[in-house]
């Protein structure tokens, strides 16, 4: 059995919905995980924000605009009047429910309820469309089996038991459709796997069902060796190891949700990245195998904060780093990059929720400097640290100011910290030196 996940663009237009049907309707049994139609989750987040601000008129306006968009899709997608009516009723109910929610007090629970509606609508519509086209497809509601535990980790045992149970209880089908992103929390409340989390849903399901392969279908032909929105002449990488893909996803390659690789790596299930608009292209295969050495790809992550912590007493002292780390631990703030000298330590975080409290505590025993608006550029590849071509990347230092470098933390990753204003230029320069073999 395979698990295939289709992103928002893949279900975002009539043409693409029809292409998805062609891709999945090949006679093999499979589970299909869907995102919300493109633009829907952003609109739902906005509706929730407006409710929070008390701008109910604006929230209602967003609801009406979104509802109008769905009316057009339903009208074009369904030929059979009975099915069209069924789908219209379902979608109308969702929007009626949203209108009613504008009268509720804003809470995390309300936010989660609102943003879950996108996947509920896309999966209902798509299953009905497949049925109209004569495909034997069944809808498996994710909220009947997808759950996270108290640490927000997937509750694999519960997911496996319940998913297998509902597959058995349902009429046998060739294609099972389910919602990505949404889940229950440990207390049974509606929750989600964070923005972009449908990829993660797919590998969680793939792992518990011991799938042969998980496929993530998007609108690009695989993971590229550099950011295609910024740099010309990038290309899709054919093969990546789980480690390489995890580093790239974590450090900014937008094609994959950062946690997606974990369940697949643990269960050793290959993940294939494919393009819905060009199904024949090879895409990227992520597996336990590594091929080639040296820098394979570059990715960048924005909204990074660099903190320099200086202590006169660090000279020949011990225990300084412990004190620093304890503060970050206390505020549950993960550290991404770190470099040290004899009297100072510089580190980066991407979560500023507790920045003020952290800085206040650090200031009790050190001098602290905070730089916002930083980007981590991460260069990934097997044994990249040892590779004879890696020196090329340091040519970038003559053109750009690099705030921090992390080299040797892992053999597969070198990270540079630059001001976000310099990111585009850094990515272009690195591309020239590393992939186009340009020398100065
Ligand atoms: N619809 C959700 C989002 O836009 C989840 C996903 O697409 O993966 O974040």
Which CATH number fits the domain that encloses residue 204?
Answer: 3.40.1160.10
Q: What pLDDT is stored for residue 137 in this prediction?
A: 96
- Regarding whether 312 and 178 lie in a shared domain, the answer is no
Residue 291 lies in a domain: no
- Regarding whether 302 and 214 lie in a shared domain, the answer is no
Alpha-carbon distances of 183 from 63, 98, 178, 215, rounded to whole Å: 23, 19, 11, 20
Residue 191 lies in a domain: yes
Q: What pLDDT is stored for residue 1 in this prediction?
A: 93
pTM: 0.90
Residue 269 lies in a domain: no
List, for residues 361-392, the tens digit of each pLDDT value: 999 999 999 999 999 999 998 888 887 777 77
**Of 186, 219, 252, which one is at a domain's C-terminal end?**
219
- Regarding whether 308 and 180 lie in a shared domain, the answer is no
- Regarding whether 189 and 327 lie in a shared domain, the answer is no
Domain of residue 333 covers 297-436
Alpha-carbon distances of 16 from 20, 38, 73, 78, 433, rounded to whole Å: 6, 11, 12, 15, 38
Residue 106 lies in a domain: yes
**Of 185, 219, 253, which one is at a domain's C-terminal end?**
219
Q: Which atom of ligand 1 is nearest to the CA of 197?
A: 8
Q: Which atom of ligand 1 is nearest to the CA of 199?
A: 8
Q: Which amino acids bring their CB within 6 angstroms of ligand 1?
A: 7-8, 35-36, 41, 118, 180-181, 195-198
**Quick one: average pLDDT of 405-414?**
87
Residue 166 lies in a domain: yes
CATH classification of the domain holding 344: 3.30.2130.10
Q: Which atom of ligand 1 is nearest to the CA of 257?
A: 8
Residue 393 lies in a domain: yes
Ligand 1 centroid vs 198 CA: distance in angstroms? Answer: 6
**Quick one: average pLDDT of 269-284?**
96
Ligand 1 centroid vs 266 CA: distance in angstroms? Answer: 24
Q: Which atom of ligand 1 is nearest to the CA of 118?
A: 1
Residue 136 lies in a domain: yes
Ligand 1 centroid vs 41 CA: distance in angstroms? Answer: 6
Percent pLDDT > 70 in the chain is: 98
Ligand 1 centroid vs 391 CA: distance in angstroms? Answer: 39
pLDDT at 318 over 80: no
pLDDT band at 172 (very low <50, low <70, confident <90, very high): confident
Q: How many domains does the chain have?
A: 2
Please tell me the least confidently modeled range out of 16-25, 112-121, 240-249, 317-326: 317-326
Ligand 1 centroid vs 39 CA: distance in angstroms? Answer: 9
- Regarding whether 212 and 341 lie in a shared domain, the answer is no
Give the Cα separation of 124 and 136 in Å (integer): 14
- Regarding whether 301 and 211 lie in a shared domain, the answer is no
**Of 184, 219, 254, which one is at a domain's C-terminal end?**
219
- Regarding whether 313 and 210 lie in a shared domain, the answer is no
List, for residues 340-366, the tens digit of each pLDDT value: 988 889 999 999 999 999 999 999 999
pLDDT at 63 over 80: yes
- Regarding whether 143 and 24 lie in a shared domain, the answer is yes
Ligand 1 centroid vs 115 CA: distance in angstroms? Answer: 9
List, for residues 112-156, the tens digit of each pLDDT value: 999 999 999 999 999 999 999 999 999 999 999 999 999 999 999
pLDDT band at 316 (very low <50, low <70, confident <90, very high): low
Q: Which atom of ligand 1 is nearest to the CA of 194?
A: 9
Q: What pLDDT is stored for residue 338 in this prediction?
A: 94
Ligand 1 pocket mutation pick from 180, 200, 214, 259 by most atoms within 8 angstroms of CB: 180
- Regarding whether 191 and 84 lie in a shared domain, the answer is yes
Which residue's CA is the nearest one to ligand 1's atom 6?
196
**Pairing of the two strands 30-34 and 175-179:** parallel
List, for residues 1-52, the tens digit of each pLDDT value: 999 999 999 999 999 999 999 999 999 999 999 999 999 999 999 999 999 9
Name the average pLDDT for the chain. 93
- Regarding whether 16 and 118 lie in a shared domain, the answer is yes
pLDDT band at 440 (very low <50, low <70, confident <90, very high): very low
Residue 328 lies in a domain: yes
- Regarding whether 176 and 313 lie in a shared domain, the answer is no
- Regarding whether 96 and 201 lie in a shared domain, the answer is yes
Percent pLDDT > 90 in the chain is: 79
């Amino acid at each position: 059995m395979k698990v295939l996940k289709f992103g928002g663009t893949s279900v975002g237009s009539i043409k693409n919905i029809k292409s998805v049907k062609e891709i999945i309707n090949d006679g093999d049994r499979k589970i299909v995980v869907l995102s919300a139609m493109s633009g829907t989750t952003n609109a739902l987040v906005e509706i929730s924000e407006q409710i929070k601000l008390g701008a109910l008129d604006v929230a209602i306006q967003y609801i009406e605009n979104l509802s109008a968009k769905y009316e057009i899709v339903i009208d074009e997608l369904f030929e059979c009047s009975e099915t069209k009516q069924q789908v219209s009723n379902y979608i109308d109910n969702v929007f009626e429910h949203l209108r009613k929610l504008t009268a509720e007090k804003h809470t995390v629970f309300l936010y989660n309820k609102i943003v879950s509606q996108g996947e509920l609508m896309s999966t209902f519509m798509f299953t009905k469309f497949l049925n109209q086209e004569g495909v034997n497809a069944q809808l498996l509601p994710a909220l009947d089996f997808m759950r996270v535990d108290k640490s927000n980790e997937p509750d694999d045992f519960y997911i496996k038991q319940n998913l297998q149970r509902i597959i058995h209880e349902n009429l046998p089908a060739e294609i099972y459709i389910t919602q990505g992103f949404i889940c229950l929390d440990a207390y049974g409340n509606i929750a989600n796997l964070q923005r972009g989390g449908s990829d993660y849903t797919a590998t969680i399901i793939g792992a518990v069902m011991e799938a042969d392969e998980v496929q993530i279908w998007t609108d690009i032909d695989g993971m590229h060796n550099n950011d295609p929105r910024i740099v010309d002449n990038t290309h899709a990488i054919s093969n990546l190891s789980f480690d390489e893909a995890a580093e790239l996803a974590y450090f900014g390659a937008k094609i994959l949700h950062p946690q997606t690789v974990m369940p697949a790596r643990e269960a050793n299930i290959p993940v294939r990245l494919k393009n819905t608009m060009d199904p024949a292209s090879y895409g990227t295969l992520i597996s336990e195998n590594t091929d080639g050495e040296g820098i394979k790809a570059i990715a960048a992550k924005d909204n990074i904060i660099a903190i320099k912590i200086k202590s006169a007493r660090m000279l020949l002292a011990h225990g300084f780093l412990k004190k620093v780390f304890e503060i970050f631990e206390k505020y549950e703030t993960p550290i991404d990059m770190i470099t040290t000298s004899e009297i100072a330590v510089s580190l980066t975080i991407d979560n500023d929720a507790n920045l003020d409290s952290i800085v206040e505590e650090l200031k009790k025993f050190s001098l602290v400097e905070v730089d916002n608006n930083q980007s981590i550029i991460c260069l990934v590849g097997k044994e990249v640290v040892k590779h004879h071509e890696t020196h090329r990347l340091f040519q970038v230092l003559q053109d750009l100011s690099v705030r921090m470098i992390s080299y040797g933390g892992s053999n597969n990753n070198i990270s540079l910290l630059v001001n976000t204003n310099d990111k585009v230029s850094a990515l272009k320069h690195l591309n020239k030196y590393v992939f186009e073999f340009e020398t100065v």
